[in-house]
Amino acid sequence: MKKLLFVPFIFVGIYLNLASENKIDLETRQSNLLGIYWGPENRTFGWYLEFREDFTFFENYDGDGCGGYSGTYKIESNKVIMQASAEEPCKPYNFQANRTCSIVPTKYSIRYSAKLYCSNDASYFGGFFLPESTERKIEGVAVKTIPGKSKYLSKSSLARIGPGYDFPSIVCNTREDEKSIQTDKFPEKSKLVLLAKTQGSKEPKGKSETWYYADIPLDWGGGCYYKGKGYTSAWFPGSVLFDMTDSKIESYD
């Protein structure tokens, strides 16, 4: 009987070891802060934060903004304590000269499993990428993540606010040949960075289709909207996407 009881304990030990190996280290320490350009989740224009090995930091606005500011930091009780001058001329609207931040898990990002959350209610992303096929929801739609993969449009296509042909498309302001234009279609061979996928509504021919949620391929001066709401990501049907490596067509990159 003792031998029979010993076997389950072996499997329990193996399981606990595997769980320990797969656990994400979210401790707020310097090694988890360095080498990461902490910023907006969608990696567009906004405030970005960089920690340096000499316990200084630099925060600046990527886009049409001022030069940013710097300060010092220390780590105590699983928190990073940041200090800057209260008289900084270039700073965010929610600036705090003294603030604390911690690395915390997030269940809502489709790119990251954790973020840096600060006492001024600012969130920064950049490390702790989600594994592929992590289950998430985008505005109530169940998806599986596919972070970092790229595909190209096989023809000019609409970008929609939901995974299906019955969802409305967005309209984008961009520039072409140094002229401002407004369009609801993205040109053939546009590169899309995919974020997630799901089974959407049936295509016009009646077949079920996979829809992909992707970052919108616009320059920083552009913007996309539907009924006043801004979009940096949208949905594309799988039937209009292809891998450039499998094609003889040259990209615009």
Reply yes or no on whether the pLDDT at 69 is more than 50: yes
Q: Distance between CA 181 and CA 141 in Å, rounded?
A: 32
- The pLDDT-based confidence of 9 (bands split at 50, 70, 90) is very low
Q: Distance between CA 62 and CA 64 in Å, rounded?
A: 7
Q: Distance between CA 72 and CA 61 in Å, rounded?
A: 18
Q: Distance between CA 169 and CA 110 in Å, rounded?
A: 21
Boundaries of every domain in the chain: 30-124, 135-246
What number is the average pLDDT over the span 102-110?
94
Tell which wins on pLDDT, 17 or 156: 156
- The pLDDT-based confidence of 252 (bands split at 50, 70, 90) is very low
Q: Distance between CA 200 and CA 214 in Å, rounded?
A: 15
What number is the average pLDDT over the span 90-109?
94
- Residue 136: the pLDDT is 95
Mean pLDDT of all residues in the chain?
84
Spatial strand order in the sheet of 56-62? 46-51, 56-62, 69-76, 79-83, 98-105, 114-118, 123-124
- Residue 140: the pLDDT is 93
What number is the average pLDDT over the span 3-12?
38
Whether residue 114 contacts residue 134, with contact meaning beta carbons closer than 8 Å, is answered with no
Share of the chain above pLDDT 90, in %: 62
- What is the CA angle 42-193-231, rounded to 5? 45
For residue range 181-228, list pLDDT tens digits in order.
Answer: 788 888 899 999 999 999 876 666 667 789 999 988 776 566 889 999
Q: Distance between CA 155 and CA 133 in Å, rounded?
A: 27
Can you read off the two tokens belonging to residue 245?
Answer: 């490596």
What are the φ and ψ backbone dihedral angles of 245, each rounded to 5 degrees?
A: -65, -20
Nearest alpha-carbon partner for 158 in 182, 190, 185, 183: 185
Q: Distance between CA 195 and CA 150 in Å, rounded?
A: 9
For residue range 137-160, list pLDDT tens digits in order.
Answer: 999 999 999 987 899 999 999 999
For residue range 43-59, list pLDDT tens digits in order.
Answer: 878 899 999 999 999 99
Does pTM top 0.85 for this prediction? no
- The pLDDT-based confidence of 10 (bands split at 50, 70, 90) is very low
Q: What DSSP character marks residue 203?
A: P
Would strands 150-153 and 141-145 be described as parallel, antiparallel, or unpaired? unpaired
